[in-house]
Structure 1
């Protein structure tokens, strides 16, 4: 993984790095930094390449990587399948070797189509004088672009300088890969991007250019390539079958253990266990060796709330990480404000039931960081200790005060979330940034001590809700439009996940010199879930905590989980209580002034 940036100028005007962006890139790749400049005089163009490497596999390999014929690759990705890469090889080297043998666009597209794993890249093909760039099918790695003062900038991360930047920076849409004919662009003195879209085998529905036109930098144009070439989608299409008429005389069963007595259900669960376990294995094995003397430190951490998504990742990671290695569970909480004491009659107090969450704000037992995700996280860790008692589970309590939030939002987080700018982006971006930093305390021997996670790999559960109907909006859509509406909603979820979530989360997590990995978005996992009819994945006629993500909850029970298997979904901004710190009248889709002003 790394931070990559490319400046393309079609005029002899001075072309320089933005020092603020350069610093953000270096934090993404703290292990090695290198720059290369390519200049052509007839016709004129200049490309400045800069890459900053986080070493994850094989021999530490500086980027930009240049071969003997002048081709240059900057690769911000991981090859988990599709191309053979041994445990001792560096995937950037392997990929450049393959791309260098390609004499045509179709060859390059064939190589990229075969890669399984997240990626963002920039590739300079010297012989053709062609610049390729883009993101993987889901957009799991960030890539931004802007065109200003005659210079095109491609970069993993930008800088939020002022409100006017809103019309300058955009995320590169993850609809395919893009190409620029540098000679033609120089002669025309304008930039036209050719897009090579993702398509499913046998499909003829090429994406319409106007669907991405709003994200194209001002002064540039984008066209579908004239050759009609495309990338092959790494996942199968969504199963849109509708169930036969259900006999409502028989009430639905909401007992997970009872459902697991059904042979067909068990087969579905076991199939998902296998494919998801392999996805986790690919992401937690063959990691860089830790420094001498750090054998007892974790290489893998999990963004952990104690909910079903993160619990399953923890149980499966436990299968594939040596038993003597710890696993860090990163649990973030934003400081609660103590409620003012209110007079209450004895009669009324007897009527009010006492719950675990109510106890959090009880004046007599007030603990400012016992937010809902902290409570469920601690309960989840107890379940993990019962399932795997020999493993050392480091439950890292990451406590954030309003003062620290305000300071680091202005200094760092606003630049990473940008160009996204809503209240929801602020809440999620801040929560993920503090969680992935991994600085907090752990409990040992009945006492807490400071702790900082050393793990370079961070597993996150994003993708589970989007595919298995975990959000409340899915329940609303099912109620109003039935299975047909739910299928349409799920199809839309994966289609927009790159622009709503993944670029932002990659920028935020990578700022700590760590790499986000998304097992639920593994190509094999998505294809498997896409192949299943919707009623096998979710039954939204059942209560919350059961029917939503039903198949995943059954999987959790199959793996030995108890209470965590039936916890209702709680969004991170509410579970961590960051949303309580800000103006309660805000809507998630509102522009966030805190991101604009820091």
Structure 2
């Protein structure tokens, strides 16, 4: 992963990268930093390319990477398929090799259409005076843009800042609707910035007749490319069938659910085969994301039994539990896996420490009771729902894989530290998103990904900071398998047809709602977010299924939502975690309880405004 940035000036004057932006880019790529400048006198323009590399694959390769023709590549991504990348190869070099062979815009689009994996790209073709840029179709890597008020400058960057005395008001996320090109020669002559869009479309679909872009800087115009060129989605469109077959058996619809309720479905040979197919494709997605990592220790150092290369954002819920079970398949048995569990301190007034025994009238007894009560309150103040389910999930994992060292990292956050880190770091990383929901999730993910907390071993506790460069997250499961409460509401009001539309909308907006933000947040720690549930093959498999095979919202909570995934959990040997109802991170970690309860998730968040 990398922090990448390009500054364009439609004059020959020197391009400047703001200091606070450079600092945040360097946090994303602490292993190597480098700048390249290019200045053209006729027509007149100048460019600054800045890259900061987090070494993840093959030999450490500094960026920006330049070929013999002067073409420059800034690549923030991972090639997990489509292009051949060997175990010892560096994917940045592979991508530039393929792009260097391109002779036309259609060739460039063909290369990018083949890539399976998350990416954001800035690619300068020197002879053509053209910059290509964009994000993968899910927007799994962040890319922001801004322009100067006089239409003479343009900046692309992985991360920005929301300092009030900067041009932060102009920052927007680059919409993940296609790939863009900027003809610097034309722009310089015309003294105006005009982009051409090459949109993503499903195979066989027609391109959109018109396109409006809400995230476009005000001083930049955009047109659809006049050659009619497109990028093909690497996944098929969603199956929208609406006629559900009636199952022969369904569990009793009681308030109490258990894994046995799910086992009823697995009596069907057809259903069991479908579940195993999901496990196979998801297992391969996890394998791609946890193997071929750089060895982090020098040859002269002894391996540290505590140092994990892979961590999981872990609540003990079904999404993270399945990722843990599958990661266990593909990570060497002698290497630990970090389970990152975040909790925000509960107010003492909300903790019930229990009462002392009747008849304790002695002052010494009262003093002892007060101390015991104080200790209990102190230990209970981080017993949020995700901590409780996380510990239960840890025990399930230990039962399934007792030889594995599972580092359950209890990350405890006080309101004071939350306020400090939000102002110093998190508000800038969440920017340009600005809602209460962005604040809550952004803060929870930032502290979790930092990985600094406590590991309990028996009665002993010790400090632990995760060394993992790869952080697996379960995002994408709820969006595809109807895991949110709003899916039940839509199903209740509009049936299967409404649910299908809701799921299609969820997947279509995931780039702007979640992924760019989460990439910026996790990347700030010099770690890389990886999303197995959004692997192209996983999405293709789930998109091929009719909605009623993925979820049955006639069934109770803990069973019907994400039904197919719950069946996979049972097939993998999981128990109580397979029937845990969905709990959003902001509620499970209790960060939502720390702030104004009358706020709505979609409200603008005043706490994200820095002074």
TM-score tier after normalising by the smaller chain length: over 0.9
Partner of 2:199, secondary structure, is: strand
Q: Which position in structure 1 is the counterpart of 2:369?
A: none
Inter-CA distance 371–46: structure 2 relative to 1 (3 Å threshold): same
Inter-CA distance 108–399: structure 2 relative to 1 (3 Å threshold): same
Q: Which position in structure 1 is the counterpart of 2:516?
A: 503
Give the Cα–Cα distance (whole angstroms) in 2 for the partners of residues 159 and 341 of structure 1.
38
Inter-CA distance 245–68: structure 2 relative to 1 (3 Å threshold): closer
User: Residue 199 of structure 2 contacts residue 207 of structure 2 at CA under 8 Å; is this kept in 1?
Assistant: no
1:464 aligns with 2:477: yes
Q: Which position in structure 1 is the counterpart of 2:288?
A: 282
Query: How far off is 1:264 after superposition?
Result: 1.1
Q: Which position in structure 1 is the counterpart of 2:324?
A: 314
Give the Cα–Cα distance (whole angstroms) in 2 for the partners of residues 29 and 249 of structure 1.
53
Residue of 295, 299, 302 corresponding to 2:309: 299
Partner of 1:76, secondary structure, is: strand
User: Residue 175 of structure 1 contacts residue 207 of structure 1 at CA under 8 Å; is this kept in 2?
Assistant: no
Give the Cα–Cα distance (whole angstroms) in 1 for the partners of residues 7 and 210 of structure 2.
27
Inter-CA distance 248–288: structure 2 relative to 1 (3 Å threshold): closer
User: Residue 340 of structure 2 contacts residue 449 of structure 2 at CA under 8 Å; is this kept in 1?
Assistant: yes
Q: Which position in structure 2 is the counterpart of 1:264?
A: 270
Partner of 2:411, secondary structure, is: strand
User: Residue 178 of structure 1 contacts residue 195 of structure 1 at CA under 8 Å; is this kept in 2?
Assistant: yes
Please report the RMSD computed on the Cα atoms of aligned residues, expressed in angstroms.
2.1
Runs of 5+ unmatched residues, structure 2: 356-372
Runs of 5+ unmatched residues, structure 1: 346-361
Partner of 1:398, secondary structure, is: strand
Partner of 2:47, secondary structure, is: strand
Partner of 1:209, secondary structure, is: coil
Inter-CA distance 496–325: structure 2 relative to 1 (3 Å threshold): same
Q: Which position in structure 1 is the counterpart of 2:360?
A: none
Cα-to-partner distance string for 1:276-313 (whole Å, 9 max, x where unaligned): 00000000000010213235211000000000000000
Cα-to-partner distance string for 1:468-520 (whole Å, 9 max, x where unaligned): 00000000000000000000000000100000000000000000000000000
Bigger mean CA deviation after superposition, 505-514 or 287-296: 287-296
Q: Which position in structure 2 is the counterpart of 1:358?
A: none
Inter-CA distance 493–165: structure 2 relative to 1 (3 Å threshold): farther
Give the Cα–Cα distance (whole angstroms) in 2 for the partners of residues 530 and 207 of structure 1.
25
1:274-423 aligned at under 5 Å gives the runs 274-291=280-297, 292-296=301-305, 297-339=307-349, 365-366=376-377, 367-423=380-436
User: Residue 249 of structure 2 contacts residue 265 of structure 2 at CA under 8 Å; is this kept in 1?
Assistant: no
Partner of 1:265, secondary structure, is: helix
Query: How far off is 1:427 after superposition?
Result: 0.2
Partner of 1:260, secondary structure, is: helix
Inter-CA distance 114–475: structure 2 relative to 1 (3 Å threshold): same
Q: Which position in structure 1 is the counterpart of 2:192?
A: 190
Residue of 558, 568, 592 corresponding to 1:545: 558
User: Residue 161 of structure 2 contacts residue 168 of structure 2 at CA under 8 Å; is this kept in 1?
Assistant: no
Partner of 1:264, secondary structure, is: helix
1:132 aligns with 2:142: no
Inter-CA distance 228–482: structure 2 relative to 1 (3 Å threshold): same
Query: How far off is 1:208 after superposition?
Result: 3.5
TM-score normalised over the length of structure 1: 0.94
Give the Cα–Cα distance (whole angstroms) in 2 for the partners of residues 252 and 370 of structure 1.
32
Inter-CA distance 6–250: structure 2 relative to 1 (3 Å threshold): closer
Inter-CA distance 384–247: structure 2 relative to 1 (3 Å threshold): closer
Give the Cα–Cα distance (whole angstroms) in 2 for the partners of residues 39 and 163 of structure 1.
28
Q: Which position in structure 2 is the counterpart of 1:57?
A: 57
Q: Which runs of 4+ in 1 moved over 3 A?
A: 163-167, 244-254, 362-366
User: Residue 573 of structure 1 contacts residue 579 of structure 1 at CA under 8 Å; is this kept in 2?
Assistant: yes
Q: Which position in structure 1 is the counterpart of 2:238?
A: 238
Give the Cα–Cα distance (whole angstroms) in 2 for the partners of residues 457 and 191 of structure 1.
37
Partner of 2:573, secondary structure, is: coil
Give the Cα–Cα distance (whole angstroms) in 2 for the partners of residues 245 and 257 of structure 1.
19
Partner of 2:146, secondary structure, is: strand
Give the Cα–Cα distance (whole angstroms) in 2 for the partners of residues 440 and 266 of structure 1.
40
Give the Cα–Cα distance (whole angstroms) in 2 for the partners of residues 137 and 250 of structure 1.
37
Give the Cα–Cα distance (whole angstroms) in 1 for the partners of residues 592 and 412 of structure 2.
15
Q: Which position in structure 2 is the counterpart of 1:67?
A: 67
Query: How far off is 1:340 after superposition?
Result: 6.4
Query: How far off is 1:249 after superposition?
Result: 12
Query: How far off is 1:251 after superposition?
Result: 7.9
User: Residue 399 of structure 1 contacts residue 440 of structure 1 at CA under 8 Å; is this kept in 2?
Assistant: yes
Q: Which position in structure 2 is the counterpart of 1:229?
A: 229
Cα-to-partner distance string for 1:406-463 (whole Å, 9 max, x where unaligned): 0010000000000000000000000000000000010124210000000000000000
Query: How far off is 1:365 after superposition?
Result: 4.7
User: Residue 36 of structure 2 contacts residue 48 of structure 2 at CA under 8 Å; is this kept in 1?
Assistant: yes
Give the Cα–Cα distance (whole angstroms) in 2 for the partners of residues 116 and 341 of structure 1.
48
Inter-CA distance 90–341: structure 2 relative to 1 (3 Å threshold): closer
Inter-CA distance 247–576: structure 2 relative to 1 (3 Å threshold): closer
Partner of 2:86, secondary structure, is: coil
Give the Cα–Cα distance (whole angstroms) in 1 for the partners of residues 291 and 304 of structure 2.
15
1:45 aligns with 2:45: yes
Inter-CA distance 164–73: structure 2 relative to 1 (3 Å threshold): closer
Give the Cα–Cα distance (whole angstroms) in 2 for the partners of residues 424 and 256 of structure 1.
33
User: Residue 396 of structure 1 contacts residue 451 of structure 1 at CA under 8 Å; is this kept in 2?
Assistant: yes
Give the Cα–Cα distance (whole angstroms) in 1 for the partners of residues 245 and 273 of structure 2.
23
Query: How far off is 1:202 after superposition?
Result: 1.1
Q: Which position in structure 2 is the counterpart of 1:355?
A: none
Bigger mean CA deviation after superposition, 293-302 or 463-472: 293-302
Partner of 1:390, secondary structure, is: coil
Partner of 1:377, secondary structure, is: helix
Query: How far off is 1:205 after superposition?
Result: 3.7
Kindly tell me the number of residue pairs found equivalent between the two proteins: 581
Give the Cα–Cα distance (whole angstroms) in 1 for the partners of residues 401 and 339 of structure 2.
14
